[in-house]
Amino acid sequence: MMTRKEAEIRVRAVPGDGPFRIAFDIEQMKPGCVLLQAVLASSCMAHCFESRLWLTTPTPNMRVYSITREELVLLVQKVHTVHADHNSRRLTEKPPNEG
């Protein structure tokens, strides 16, 4: 699960104060890739999300939304939480004892 602080750190890279445009699929809860963002919205939006979450082709439910910085932070947090890979560990976690 992504914390609000982690989401804020990802959003810091986005220049400007907003509102921002983002190509996003509400059904799949995933953003468009860098190329889709560049064509439809703003390419810097894709960098707020892990690349494994990007949609590389337009989908029937993909739309362009105008959102504030606060909404972007909440969206980043929600998307990463929804798509959290429960089999992976954070880099700071120690591996379980083998033995």
Summarize pLDDT for 28-73 with one digit per residue, the tens: 999 999 999 999 998 888 889 999 999 999 999 999 999 999 999 9
| 6 or 97, which is more confident | 6
Angle at 63 between CA 55 and CA 56, to 5 degrees: 15
Q: What is the mean pLDDT of residues 61-88?
A: 88
0.85 exceeded by the pTM?
Answer: no
Cα→Cα distances 81→19, 35, 86, 96, Å: 23, 24, 10, 23
Dump the DSSP string for 5-38: HHHHHHHTTS-SSS-EEEEEETTTTEEB-HHHHH
Q: To 10 degrees, what angle do helices 4-11 and 69-82 make?
A: 120
Domain assignments of the chain as residue spans, ordered by start:
4-82
Identify the sign of the CA torsion 87, 51, 11, 68. Answer: negative
pLDDT of the residue at 97: 61
pLDDT of the residue at 62: 96
β-strand pairing of 20-25 with 30-31: antiparallel
pLDDT of the residue at 43: 83
Two tokens at 80?
Answer: 């990463």
